């Protein structure tokens, strides 16, 4: 039986287009977000916005934390972290 191709299979090659699109979308969304960053990151000063933080980013990193031996469809979803 052939396993379905998902983000946890061959992440760096098969899903390069998807991750690039996700990163681009995240940058665009964060760049226009005037919400205070400390709503998510409590140690950040109140006057710093998501937009301010996005302008300081040079990349977004997507980490695949799905364990190789995990059962598909398992709830809650497992993590290697």
Q: Where are the beta strands (DSSP E) in the chain?
A: none
Residue at token pair 């690039």: 20
The answer, as to whether pTM is greater than 0.75, is no
23-60 pLDDT, tens digit per residue, is: 888 888 889 999 999 998 889 999 999 999 989 888 77
**Distance, CA of 5 to chain centre:** 19
């Amino acid at each position: 039986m052939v396993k379905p191709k998902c983000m946890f299979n061959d992440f760096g090659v098969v899903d390069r287009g998807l991750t690039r699109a996700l990163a681009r979308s995240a940058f665009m969304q964060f760049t226009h977000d005037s919400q205070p960053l400390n709503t998510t990151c409590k140690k950040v000063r109140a006057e710093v916005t998501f937009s301010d933080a996005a302008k300081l980013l040079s990349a977004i990193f997507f980490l695949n934390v799905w364990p190789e031996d995990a059962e598909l469809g398992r709830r809650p979803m497992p993590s290697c972290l």
